[in-house]
Structure 1
Amino acid sequence: MRKFTVLFFLIMFMIGTDTFLISPLLPTLQTEFGVSTDIAGWMLGAYTLGSAVFALIAGPLSDGWNRRTVLLGGMLGFSISTILCGFADGFWTMCLFRFLAGISAAFTAPQVWASIPAVMPPSRIAKTMGIAFSGLAASQALGVPIGSWLATAHWSVPFWTIGTAALLLALAAFYTLPDMKPTLAKGERTSILARYVPLITSGQARGGFFAYLLLHLGCGTAFAFVGKWMADRFELPIEGIGTVMIFLGLGNLLGSMISAYAARKLGHANAVAAGMALLIVLYVVMPRLAGLSAVTIVYFIICTTLGIIFPIVMGALTALNASIRGTISSLANATMNGANTLGAWGAGILYIQLGGYSSIGIFSGICLALSLGLFLSSGVLGRKSVNTATKEVSAS
Structure 2
Amino acid sequence: MKKLTALFFLIMFVIGTDTFLISPLIPTLQSLFHISTEYSGWMVGAYALGYAVFALIAGPLSDGWDRKKVMLSGMVCFSVSTILCGFATGFWSMFLFRFLAGVSAAFTAPQVWASIPALFPAPKIAKVSGIVMAGLAASQAFGIPIGSLLATTHWSYPFFTIGVCSLLVAIFIFYALPEMKPKHDQRSKIPIFKRYVPLLTSRIARRSFLAHFLFQCGFFAAFSFIGKWMTDRFHLSIDQVGYVMFFLGLGNMVGSISGAYVIKRLNRFNTMVVGFLVSIACFIALPHLPSVSVFEGVCFLIFVNMGIAFPLILGLLNSLNPTIRGTISSLANSIMYAATTLGSWIAGLIYATFNGFSAVGIFAAICFAGSLLSFMFSGILTTHSKTKKEHAS
Scaled by the length of structure 2, what TM-score is found?
0.97
SS of residue in 2 equivalent to 1:381: helix
- 2:126 matched residue in structure 1: 126
- The one-character-per-residue Cα deviations of 1:331-365 (angstroms, maximum 9, x if unpaired) are 01011100010011111111111241001111111
- 2:332 matched residue in structure 1: 332
- 1:248 matched residue in structure 2: 248
Amino acid at match of 1:98: R
Whether the 8 Å CA contact 1:83–1:163 is kept in 2: the answer is yes
- 1:287 matched residue in structure 2: 287
- 1:102 matched residue in structure 2: 102
Amino acid at match of 1:71: M
Tell me the distance in 2 between the aligned counterparts of 1:156 and 1:195: 41
Gaps of 5+ in 1: 391-396
- The one-character-per-residue Cα deviations of 1:50-108 (angstroms, maximum 9, x if unpaired) are 00110011111111110001000110110000000000111100000000000000010
The change in CA–CA distance for 1:16 and 1:200 in structure 2 (over 3 A counts) is: same
SS of residue in 1 equivalent to 2:380: coil
Whether the 8 Å CA contact 1:44–1:344 is kept in 2: the answer is yes
Aligned CA RMSD, in angstroms, stands at 1.5
Tell me the distance in 1 between the aligned counterparts of 2:98 and 2:332: 21
The change in CA–CA distance for 1:70 and 1:354 in structure 2 (over 3 A counts) is: same
* CA drift at 1:125: 1.6
* CA drift at 1:122: 2.4
Tell me the distance in 2 between the aligned counterparts of 1:48 and 1:42: 9
Whether the 8 Å CA contact 1:252–1:303 is kept in 2: the answer is yes
Scaled by the length of structure 1, what TM-score is found?
0.96
Tell me the distance in 2 between the aligned counterparts of 1:314 and 1:379: 15
Tell me the distance in 1 between the aligned counterparts of 2:9 and 2:311: 17
Tell me the distance in 1 between the aligned counterparts of 2:372 and 2:185: 42
- 2:15 matched residue in structure 1: 15
Whether the 8 Å CA contact 1:279–1:305 is kept in 2: the answer is yes
The change in CA–CA distance for 1:183 and 1:229 in structure 2 (over 3 A counts) is: same
- 2:47 matched residue in structure 1: 47
SS of residue in 2 equivalent to 1:312: helix
Tell me the distance in 2 between the aligned counterparts of 1:96 and 1:270: 43
- 2:57 matched residue in structure 1: 57
- 2:66 matched residue in structure 1: 66
Tell me the distance in 2 between the aligned counterparts of 1:199 and 1:118: 24
* CA drift at 1:385: 6.5
Alignment coverage as a number of residue pairs:
389
* CA drift at 1:387: 3.9
Tell me the distance in 2 between the aligned counterparts of 1:41 and 1:384: 36
Amino acid at match of 1:73: S
Tell me the distance in 1 between the aligned counterparts of 2:121 and 2:380: 30
Whether the 8 Å CA contact 2:283–2:361 is kept in 1: the answer is yes
- 1:360 matched residue in structure 2: 360
* CA drift at 1:288: 0.5
Tell me the distance in 2 between the aligned counterparts of 1:3 and 1:386: 38
Whether the 8 Å CA contact 2:60–2:326 is kept in 1: the answer is yes
SS of residue in 1 equivalent to 2:16: helix
The change in CA–CA distance for 1:275 and 1:91 in structure 2 (over 3 A counts) is: same
* CA drift at 1:384: 5.2
Amino acid at match of 2:300: F
Matches within 5 A, 1:112-123: 112-123=112-123
- 2:373 matched residue in structure 1: 373
Instruction: Establish whether residue 161 from structure 1 lines up as the match of residue 161 from structure 2.
Output: yes
Tell me the distance in 1 between the aligned counterparts of 2:187 and 2:215: 41
Identity of aligned residues (%): 57
- 2:258 matched residue in structure 1: 258
* CA drift at 1:187: 11
Tell me the distance in 1 between the aligned counterparts of 2:384 and 2:292: 44
The range that moved more, 7-16 or 117-126, is 117-126
Amino acid at match of 2:23: S
The change in CA–CA distance for 1:347 and 1:210 in structure 2 (over 3 A counts) is: same
The change in CA–CA distance for 1:181 and 1:356 in structure 2 (over 3 A counts) is: same
The change in CA–CA distance for 1:384 and 1:57 in structure 2 (over 3 A counts) is: closer
Whether the 8 Å CA contact 1:320–1:386 is kept in 2: the answer is no
The change in CA–CA distance for 1:353 and 1:117 in structure 2 (over 3 A counts) is: same
- The one-character-per-residue Cα deviations of 1:132-165 (angstroms, maximum 9, x if unpaired) are 1000000000000000000111000000000000
Whether the 8 Å CA contact 1:25–1:148 is kept in 2: the answer is yes
SS of residue in 2 equivalent to 1:208: helix
* CA drift at 1:258: 1.0
* CA drift at 1:194: 1.7
Whether the 8 Å CA contact 1:218–1:343 is kept in 2: the answer is yes
- The one-character-per-residue Cα deviations of 1:243-281 (angstroms, maximum 9, x if unpaired) are 000111000011011111111111111110110011111
